[in-house]
Structure 1
């Protein structure tokens, strides 16, 4: 079977949510005798030097990419207001990229073409005009839902109005596109429900984040305690706002619990304002080389998201590393976990305080939750079983 993946980022290296999801999907399908081609937009914001990619998965695929400047432009954003396009999405379209994709489609025939996320959907018309393949759309998030929630949290009125405007445009675009595919994959059950509410009438299945457990080796002898940590890309607005809330409203009281307690903050594109929080008990590390090694060395994972959609890949990775995770209901949304068994849910400063206090005073508690978390992700997020199920759906599409 010949499969083409269209992606809004180069998924190498798999060091954050979107690349991990795409990378593990490709890796799993390669074990099932599929031939995979990858066409990636390579945006300035997350630009990857393709010549520096050294990865066995990369060596097994046919790869094409197009470098594109998607940075927000003040004038571009202003003039977009007077168009009928979503500025979030339109920045990912380029005529030269479309031509490159068109040439690829004329040179090769594919059985399945999978669009990884909303930002490559602007190329759908090019694909439909030049290919008879079955078309699959995977929603990594319900995009408009992310921006809707951000707008509700925004206090500065002009910015709030603009976020509401962006979310409305995104909702119109997503709703218009969702039924133009033969198959839709959502990344969680709550997202599946939201997509149905958007009027989806095509085939719709849930495919959660897949994990290659060979990468997540736990060594508890290297885990320091008592330690808290937060890990996430800090240029993603929900991460930024959630961490600000935790540091301003919760951390000052947590810090007083123990002079030995340390809170480590890491993630790419760490913004300057977070370094201002740095103290003896709070260490801001910025971007780290090895996320798995970082997680292994710390005890308790803090995920204070107040907005967002989809499934938090870093929580799945943390569970795979047997971490006790304390997260908001929003952060844990879509993950098949149970409060008090394989995760701790905290939605208020008091709940975070009580959960952290419990873990610090009862070390066996966080160890037990971490062990249960690993069992949960082994059951629901194993890479090979997910790949087999996806291939089976592809085969049904082709017969149809």
Structure 2
């Protein structure tokens, strides 16, 4: 089958979970179909020529929508590349439709379809015969609405509520007009199934990792110190990661230092230096964006996933497990992944319990090793690229039978 994959988020090397999902989706789909890729991110945001060459190796054709090609060649400011100006969206739409017709595409697969609603809707109206897959990384309405309890400003609460309800309506609509909606976990799949009478059109397409990428840690970072805890993600003001880091800093960190005075804390990820610029503690290293988290992650004693609002499944857990680093998470942080506290992860939602779990893993090396190895086996069994290939095959076979 000829599949056209398009996404507004694409990058190599992947800087975070969203980019990692797209990279691994493309790798998997390339194994089971004739894959064409249209990037709605520019070469610059993609990662340059090297990244472009990487993706060209994993599909039969890799091109950009004219909008981002124009902005890149004319060196227009980066923030305009992602603007949702209707004129530019119309050009994207026309370009994709022409490509579908000229190349006799069977399926258009929208990576991050949950932020591509207008484009999906318009293309389906103009090319109703095209089979369409809305690929989701989460339940976006949950991602938005779960933030309400953590916002103090009443006006902002109302804006969050409005945005979340709008996403709920979009979810109801695309589940009906798309031939398949994918979910990254059974938890998310159950949500989408409640929106349609045809439960069969909701399919799993999980977050996975390419385990081969975690074999080489690279060099240990200069001046890296143990014992330490590690937190990685994408940081924006008032984002789930920003709130998670603040929760650890405000409720966990001082208690942890009292028990382990020489403990160090490494915070990694795009935007972290900006959102946490007020932190001034010699024992805390706010590293910012790095080419690879592995030199830090593989040398950490404990990886943290202290999330209280999010949706989907966490690459933070998959990556730490791949590196055999024990994990302490909140309940929501581990949502959608079949982990069991005390067996392959430690779960805590209260600060004192979170501290206790970190201390246990740092002080009891044998217990930490067992927890980490158990989680590693789970990830190897259920969350590798081969698993995604199998799920992708099931989706394509389902669509073939519908024709």
TM-score range relative to shorter protein: 0.7 to 0.9
Q: What is the 5 A alignment of 1:69-218? A: 94-117=89-112, 118-128=114-124, 129-130=126-127, 132-199=129-196, 201-202=198-199, 203-217=201-215
Distance 1:229 1:395, change over 3 A: same
- State the Cα RMSD in Å: 2.7
Q: Please, which moves more after superposition, 138-147 or 62-71?
A: 62-71
Cα-to-partner distance string for 1:91-110 (whole Å, 9 max, x where unaligned): 89712211221221221111
Distance, in Å, in 1 between the alignment partners of 2:227 and 2:192 is: 41
Cα-to-partner distance string for 1:211-246 (whole Å, 9 max, x where unaligned): 211111177996964110101111281111111111
Distance 1:248 1:290, change over 3 A: same
Instruction: Classify the secondary structure of the residue corresponding to 1:185.
Output: strand
Contact 1:70 1:91 in 2 (8 A): no
Instruction: Classify the secondary structure of the residue corresponding to 2:356.
Output: helix
Distance 1:385 1:249, change over 3 A: closer
Distance, in Å, in 1 between the alignment partners of 2:129 and 2:198 is: 21
Contact 1:139 1:184 in 2 (8 A): yes
Aligned to 2:12: 12
**Does residue 227 in structure 1 map to residue 228 in structure 2?**
yes
Distance, in Å, in 2 between the alignment partners of 1:260 and 1:300 is: 15
Distance, in Å, in 1 between the alignment partners of 2:388 and 2:147 is: 31
Please, which runs of 5 or more residues in structure 1 have no aligned partner? 73-87
Aligned to 1:37: 36
Distance, in Å, in 2 between the alignment partners of 1:197 and 1:42 is: 33
Aligned to 1:315: 317
Please, which runs of 5 or more residues in structure 2 have no aligned partner? 72-76
Distance, in Å, in 2 between the alignment partners of 1:136 and 1:358 is: 45
TM-score, normalising length from structure 1?
0.88
Per the TM alignment, residue 15 of structure 1 is displaced from its structure 2 partner at its CA by 2.7
Instruction: Classify the secondary structure of the residue corresponding to 2:310.
Output: coil
Contact 1:278 1:284 in 2 (8 A): no
Cα-to-partner distance string for 1:325-363 (whole Å, 9 max, x where unaligned): 101001100011110111110101011111012112212
Per the TM alignment, residue 64 of structure 1 is displaced from its structure 2 partner at its CA by 2.4
Distance, in Å, in 2 between the alignment partners of 1:188 and 1:159 is: 30
TM-score, normalising length from structure 2?
0.87
Per the TM alignment, residue 206 of structure 1 is displaced from its structure 2 partner at its CA by 1.9
